[in-house]
Structure 1
């Protein structure tokens, strides 16, 4: 492809958004909706309150990134790059707040708009958790559901495997780029998943490895693609409950399998059930709630607009001035990694913004 053709490529405006400081996915889509498909033209940008640096970044042609992405796409069959306006971008995900601007897919696109049930849970499930996963999945597959999960060890991997064994189709959303399959032990499973008519998805550039802050973002894609989320086993503080929280905010059904109160891996599921998640004894408890795979918005917690500030002790330490991550963690007296995970959630919900040097409080309308 010539340089002139590259400069007209439809991905370039979306790459500019990706690389502009202070613009997350929520603000980016607001910009697209306000200005239309030609938002990146200079006369359109004049209508917005961007600083000089942001205006320059928005009009920068990231040709090196574009060339690398096109090389990846052409490196094998069934590789796709879907921007938010692409006709194959899944509508179920597109309707959610904070949907990724770019989605990288390897495998069949035809399954993306189909009814999906997300299955998530502990990376170290108990014997009962493993059995529940293997027993429930075949019935969901027989009902016509696509099973979506995160390819992690534990319940995620078991869900993909049980789906393939039942002759079903499964999708995996990765917390790394598609060239850097994580965990490595699931590379063969990923290949079988694609061969079985499924697909791998990620919002990370294909060459990026797994990083801690990728996984909360990955979780909101898993729930966003699905009509409901089943939590098989989860401790009270786990990534599975982050997925459930996203599902709540996105108006999805949430299901949980109960367990003994003495079992720490059951505490998260039991808590979800206390808060209104559908208690699951067998697959019919899921299927009757998703009759014809219609989405009935079960609200387990109050929506964000009606509740107290999320992570108030953290937000109190992020002001309108730039605050470094280390300083926020020091003020909160919390581990840096935990603070980073929460900041990612807050950014996706529109409470904070990433800027050079750290974070600032978002000006919520």
Structure 2
């Protein structure tokens, strides 16, 4: 394991509030430099004696467990200073120090909607969760949820039912655990067709205190949150509140006045959430925030390439040579990724990022994983 990664894991495993540890990274420029700064600097950043002791004498077993997990294919660690740390997550009140990602980390930059609700929904609520998640996934949005029983599981499963469906589970355990245990198979399917994300290190067991923290990440990674069914006191309402505090859209599906699982949704609507009856209303509602995400992605692409990619404007062929080549390769008939790779001689990763920018800007239409110019 590299020294910087070991130092970063030491900071993560110290636990406690994230703000002091983010401050250490920002002040000293790297995790190694932050640790080398010593106890006086740690305390000046706001760490208490318990956290300082953990920085001074980290758990070797915990470090080894994290290192072994990171060595496996498809496992990623996106820390606060990493260029691929999700742009939307930087905007929330208390962004995590790092994310452990099992699966496709690029999905954390893709526009998506959180679908949340009761762990014990009615049959109608479960059907609504499936219908909304299926439609959102078909619209090329990532379906974010928490892999819990009930609405969460229904939403993940509906997205996975589509060949091109993408879903991300934000969990309150380590990224290597299924919670509840009955969702072990669901977790494997999500990793294969999406990602499992956690701010907690591998091996971390479920604790009640972890789930409000998980909910803030779920809200922060999404352009909007839709609540399907929720009691008046529920984790789904916490997620919705945190989404609103982060400046994201909040949607609620109304229900019968006789259904106790609808009271939380009705309360959200009274408090200003958007009442939705059709998934298309959600797609339309997140349009403005999707544009902001496109701008953040353009900036990330520019930083990664060493030369700025211009905004995809109304001009049919943007002046950047790679975009121009891609635009010429696109037709009005849907074209698959393999054909675009052959036509442009660009890599799949390069094309995916460029197509996402063009899709967010309304230049490209996507249907069943095939791309065409939007008329």
Match of 2:20 in 1: 27
Q: Which moved more, 1:38-47 or 1:287-296?
A: 38-47
Pick from 200, 206, 224 the counterpart of residue 202 of structure 2. Answer: 206
Q: Is 1:99 equivalent to 2:95 in the alignment?
A: yes
CA offset digits 1:197-236 (Å, max 9, x no partner): x011112221122111111111111111101000000000
Deviation at 1:293, TM superposition (A): 4.9
1:248 to 239, 244, 247: 244
Query: Displacement, 1:68?
Result: 1.7
Provide the C-alpha distance between the structure 1 equivalents of 2:112 and 2:99, rounded to a whole number of angstroms: 17
What secondary structure is seen at the aligned counterpart in 2 of 1:222? Answer: helix
Unaligned runs of 5+ in 2: 293-375
Q: Are the aligned partners of 1:121 and 1:240 in contact in 2 as well (CA < 8 Å)?
A: yes
**Deviation sequence 1:112-153 (CA, Å, 0-9, x none):** 111110000001111221121222222212222000000111
Structure 1 gaps of 5+ residues are 297-365
2:184 corresponds to 1:191: no
Supply the distance in 2 between the matched residues of 1:170 and 1:42 (Cα, whole angstroms): 40
What does 1:53-202 align with in structure 2 at a 5 Å threshold? 53=49, 55-74=52-71, 76-167=72-163, 168-196=165-193, 198-202=194-198
**Alpha-carbon spacing, 1:219–1:47, altered in 2? closer, same or farther (3 Å):** closer
RMSD: 2.4
Q: Determine the structure 1 residue equivalent to 2:333.
A: none
Q: Give, in whole Å, the separation in 1 of the partners of 2:124 and 2:132.
A: 12
- Aligned equivalents of 1:161, 1:50: Cα separation in 2: 43
Q: 1:266 to 1:33 in 2, by over 3 A?
A: same
CA distance in 1: counterparts of 2:179 and 2:42, whole angstroms: 42
TM-score, normalised to structure 1, is: 0.72
Specify the alignment match of 2:287 in structure 1.
291
Q: Is the 8 A contact 2:7 2:35 kept in 1?
A: no
TM-score between the two structures when normalised by the length of structure 2: 0.70
Determine which structure has the larger helix proportion and give its number. 2
Between the aligned partners of 1:52 and 1:199, the Cα distance in structure 2 is 34
1: CA distance between counterparts of 2:226 and 2:287?
16
Larger RCO: 1 or 2 (CA < 8 Å, sep 6+)? 1
Equivalent position of 1:259 in the other structure: 255
Q: What's the offset of the Cα at 1:182?
A: 0.7
